[in-house]
Structure 1
Amino acid sequence: MKLSFLFFGNQPDEKWPLCQQMGIKTAIAKLAPELTGDPAIDDFASFARSKQIFNDHGFELYGLEGDQFPMQRIKLGLPGREDDVERYCRMLENMGRLGVKLLCYNFMATGWFRTRVAERERGDALVSRFVYTDDIVQQPTPYGNFSEAQIWENYQWFLERVLPAAEAAGVTMGLHPDDPPISPVQGIARVFTSDAAMERALSFSDSPAHQITFCQGTFTTMQEDVLAMIKKYGARQKIAFVHIRDVVGTPADFRETFHDNGPTDMFAAMKLYKEIGFTGPLRSDHVPTMAGESNEHFGYGMQGNLFGIGYIKGLMHGAGIAPQ
């Protein structure tokens, strides 16, 4: 397994040497122009420059995560989506040319969503929380309302156009479930909110490029059987990427917590990843903001990640897995 870290942009900062000191060699990156100051990565030269920066600092740029340029027209089926999906296919082609093997993507028009960002956790660490009854959940976006049927239709349209490009490029696309897994949010339906929904998504194509990002935290929020899901999807070689975090609560009211402070049997999960033969990347996700840190980028503070990565390395060693 490849212990990885999510980098926002391509500019080295203190997180880069800290990751090297923790033994991380695998980079997952979001390279959107607002983070890099460069053109979007459907431009090959821009993408190649970012990859070289990671190489020069001792990291393999293994995968991309999140929206690398605006995706609203694709996700909502708006005019102009044909142009956007052409850009997406060029990005996939560039990934193949550069040897970037994984794309963790989502189909959430309003992104991963929290209504509170400074809830107190153990030792007064700060975590994010989602409460469905909070006013912001009901506030509409400028795009208006979209039904589940519309989102499903848009998703199938998207897959039909991008999966052939991904397969030709040797890129695996890992669909991230909706976080929070409840619908609608701000008038826009969310459809990837259960195990059954993820199965439906996979049923649209049997391409080896069509897999899922196994986000333990989101599946725990769904109140699904996480261990059974690891076995099921792992047996079919459908897990492209693993996010390790934990939550407490229900889809309508939950909060993040420390990796060792939630309901998931993390060691049992790690042993299962070994049992199913998973060799892809995994990473710590949505960590608490710890003492002395700014909560500006909640969920992605470095001290919380130092805890999370150390905890995950301990799980891996206990399970007899040598982190790569």
Structure 2
Amino acid sequence: MILTDFLPAQPDRSWQLAKQIGINHAICKCAPELTKLAAPDNLTALRTIKDRFTAAGIRLYGLEGDEFDMQRIKLGLPGRDADIARYQQMLRNMGQLEIPLLCYNFMASIGWFRTDPAVPIRGGAISNRFRLSAVETKPIAPELQISESALWENYRYFIEAVHPIAEAAGVQMGLHPDDPPLSPLRGVGRIFNSADAFEKAMSLSSSPAHGITYCQANFRAMGEDIFSTAERFAKRIVFVHFRDVEGTREDFTETFHDNGPTDMAAILAHYHALGFNGPIRVDHVPSMAGEENAPHGYAQLGRLFAVGYLKGILDAHHIQYC
């Protein structure tokens, strides 16, 4: 497997820590509001970020998230074709720079969402929680709402436009589940919240560029058996997000990697048995003593613990990684 970490576009302490714990591959969100550069449909901007990582001895392996404003694409608004053209150019740039992975979502108007970002868990560490009962009941602005059927049509339109470009560029696109995996949310339809929905998505294209980011905690929150679901989609999984939650899609809390309900050693062994040897990264972690809980889910001490835990399991199972 390829161990990756989610790192910012500019060198900071997290880059040093990643190298010190043996992580040599980066996943990065390169949106302009984070990088202060142009979006990655600009070749020079993306090359600048890649070159920074290379100089630090880290390979920029993939991009993750919305790399520029995707609302017109997701909501099917006028101007989406221009935005899709930008997306296509980003894929070409990734291919030219040998960045082989793009983790993306199709959550419109509301992205990953928690109702309480500061829940005390083991030893006073701080995690985050989602409770549907705590979500504001008033829908968001009408122009930001969309039905599930319309979102499916917009997703199909998007996939048909971008997958030929991704395939030609040698870029694998990994579809991430909705987080939280339920619909609607404040009047916004959400469509990737069950294994059957992913089956439908995968049926839209047989391209090798069309894959899944297997965020195992999201599939668990859906109520799916993550072992059988991983087997079901084994040939389409291009990226794994390694984390855990306890609860249901309507009420769940993120856990430390070693004390949630999932047998984490068994699921890693299962991925290996299924033939997965691609990129994996630890996802949302608690904030620990002495850390600020900002941004929640991405503290450094919790990440160090999680990576060590991941590597220990891989070593115990004699699963090779780099």
Q: How does 1:89-108 map to 2 (within 5 A)?
A: 89-108=88-107
Q: Which amino acid aligns with 1:30?
A: K
Report the Cα distance in structure 2 between the residues aligned to 1:144 and 1:227, rounded to whole angstroms: 36
Aligned to 2:186: 186
Structure 1 position 36 matched with structure 2 position 25? no
Aligned to 1:201: 201
RMSD: 1.0
Aligned to 1:261: 259
Q: Which amino acid aligns with 1:215?
A: C
Contact 1:103 1:173 (C-alpha < 8 Å) held by counterparts: yes
User: Which of 289, 292, 297 is the matching residue for 1:291?
Assistant: 289
Q: Which runs of 5+ in 1 are unaligned?
A: none
Report the Cα distance in structure 2 between the residues aligned to 1:74 and 1:295, rounded to whole angstroms: 32
For residues 273-314 of structure 1, what are the alpha-carbon distances to aligned partners after superposition, in whole Å with 9 as ceiling and x for unaligned? Answer: 111221111011010011110012000000110111011001
How far off is 1:262 after superposition?
1.1
User: Cα–Cα, structure 1 residues 52 and 144, in superposed 2: closer, same or farther, change >3 Å?
Assistant: closer
Q: What TM-score, normalized to structure 2?
A: 0.98
TM superposition outliers: structure 1 runs of 4+ over 2 Å: 135-139, 141-145
How far off is 1:142 after superposition?
5.8
User: Cα–Cα, structure 1 residues 249 and 79, in superposed 2: closer, same or farther, change >3 Å?
Assistant: same
Aligned length: 321
Contact 1:73 1:84 (C-alpha < 8 Å) held by counterparts: yes
Report the Cα distance in structure 1 between the residues aligned to 2:189 and 2:134, rounded to whole angstroms: 17
User: Cα–Cα, structure 1 residues 47 and 14, in superposed 2: closer, same or farther, change >3 Å?
Assistant: same
Aligned to 1:305: 303
Contact 2:62 2:101 (C-alpha < 8 Å) held by counterparts: yes
Instruction: Give secondary structure in 2 for the equivalent of 1:243.
Output: strand
For residues 93-145 of structure 1, what are the alpha-carbon distances to aligned partners after superposition, in whole Å with 9 as ceiling and x for unaligned? Answer: 00000000000000011111111111111111111111112143644146342
Q: Which amino acid aligns with 1:195?
A: A
Aligned to 1:114: 114
Report the Cα distance in structure 1 between the residues aligned to 2:141 and 2:245, rounded to whole angstroms: 27
Contact 2:178 2:191 (C-alpha < 8 Å) held by counterparts: yes
User: Cα–Cα, structure 1 residues 308 and 137, in superposed 2: closer, same or farther, change >3 Å?
Assistant: farther
How far off is 1:323 after superposition?
2.2
Instruction: Give secondary structure in 2 for the equivalent of 1:108.
Output: coil
For residues 205-231 of structure 1, what are the alpha-carbon distances to aligned partners after superposition, in whole Å with 9 as ceiling and x for unaligned? Answer: 111110100001101111100011122
Report the Cα distance in structure 2 between the residues aligned to 1:52 and 1:65, rounded to whole angstroms: 18
Deviates more, 1:166-175 or 1:137-146: 137-146
Instruction: Give secondary structure in 1 for the equivalent of 2:298.
Output: coil
Aligned to 2:230: 230
Instruction: Give secondary structure in 2 for the equivalent of 1:99.
Output: coil
Report the Cα distance in structure 2 between the residues aligned to 1:119 and 1:313, rounded to whole angstroms: 27
Q: Which amino acid aligns with 1:182?
A: L
User: Cα–Cα, structure 1 residues 45 and 257, in superposed 2: closer, same or farther, change >3 Å?
Assistant: same
Q: What TM-score, normalized to structure 1?
A: 0.97
Aligned to 2:18: 19
User: Cα–Cα, structure 1 residues 141 and 303, in superposed 2: closer, same or farther, change >3 Å?
Assistant: farther
Report the Cα distance in structure 2 between the residues aligned to 1:206 and 1:146, rounded to whole angstroms: 27
Report the Cα distance in structure 2 between the residues aligned to 1:58 and 1:198, rounded to whole angstroms: 36
Report the Cα distance in structure 1 between the residues aligned to 2:225 and 2:135, rounded to whole angstroms: 31
Aligned to 1:221: 221
Report the Cα distance in structure 2 between the residues aligned to 1:200 and 1:316, rounded to whole angstroms: 32
Contact 2:75 2:144 (C-alpha < 8 Å) held by counterparts: no
Report the Cα distance in structure 2 between the residues aligned to 1:76 and 1:145, rounded to whole angstroms: 8
